[in-house]
Amino acid sequence: MHASHANSGFPVHRTRVVSGAGDEESFETKDSPPAVAGPLPSSNVRGNQPLLPATPPILIDLVTGADTLDESLDLLSAAAMDHVVRTAGSDVGCGVVLRQHKRSPAVTGTSEQVVTLLDWEQEAAEGPVIDVLSGGHPVAVLQRNGDFRWQQYSGQLQVAGFGSALAVRLRLDAGGRGAGGTGTVSDPGQATAALAFFAQDEKAFPLQVIAEARSFAVLAARSLQMAIDMHAARSLATDLRSALDSRTSINVACGVIMAQNRCSYQDAFAILAKASSHRNIKVRRVAEDILQGLPEGAPNPHFSR
């Protein structure tokens, strides 16, 4: 069950702070402790999208040394932790949650406690990360004592040894134009992601730290989108190579059958298909078994070398 969002329509107290990440606005409502709902319109924001700087920042390298997307997420969580620790001035754990269409959520973190808490949140569908991923505010902050929005999650937070949590949405776009912390989740097939920060201190995430986390999220979103695209390209290349290998093996095996039986390609392939069905294995496996029986063994296609 998704937690209800704090009603920011009737603020009792409002505070504004200006930082490098743009104006933020903090609300205290009758229903919840401070929560962040921003960004506010300012000179560096146009509509719902932040204006890009004249010189775009260097992207975080999440690909070099990372053979899988999970390893890229590990690099991102470590980089995010280092960035926020410098601002918060205290120990902070960090995690990343990535949701992709028709895939289980990918969860990683800088400690076992972080990963366990993020896994629990995904299962229970309750907590600040769930809030930002489901299209709520782009930032969600939890101070354990006195915060009644996610009561079960607050208990889990205490078990993990944390006093506060901060979740920041990473906006991912197919064209690699991530806009961290802004926009809404409109396309059900679009990947969504969030950074999560955890600290023992119950007041570890004041507005200055939140602003820095949001600023980092813009860079992180672009970097993560690039990593996703790169790993997808690698996977596609591997699949294409496998398909070419498979087709080559089948074609050569069909040639062997044609020579042995003086039949057409269609008849040779039908023989392979019948053997595949009879042995309950793939046609490629039948073809490879035939080629292994050749005097010189199975040939190697040039594109697999």
List average pLDDT for each run of 10 residues in the chain, which is 305 residues long. 38 33 36 42 44 51 83 89 78 90 87 93 92 87 74 87 91 56 51 91 86 88 88 78 79 88 90 88 87 71 50
Please give the pLDDT value at position 278. 87
Place of tokens 């070419």: 244
Give the CATH number of domain 246-304; options: 1.10.10.10, 1.10.150.240, 1.10.238.10, 3.40.630.30. 1.10.10.10
Angle, to 10 degrees, between the axis of helix 265-279 and the axis of helix 207-261? 120
Place of tokens 């990440």: 21
Which tokens in the block code for residue 191? 């990947």
State the span(s) of the chain assigned CATH 1.10.10.10.
246-304
Compute CA distances 32 → 139, 164, 199, 208, 296, whole Å: 15, 15, 20, 20, 75
Which CATH number applies to 13-41+58-234?
3.30.450.80
Residues β-bridged to residue 97? 107, 194
Contacts of 45 (CB under 8 A, 6+ apart): 22, 23, 39, 51
Please give the pLDDT value at position 249. 84
State the span(s) of the chain assigned CATH 3.30.450.80.
13-41+58-234
Residues β-bridged to residue 6? none
Closest CA to 18 of 236, 254, 269, 208: 208
Asked if 43 contacts 24 with a C-beta cutoff of 8 angstroms, the reply is no
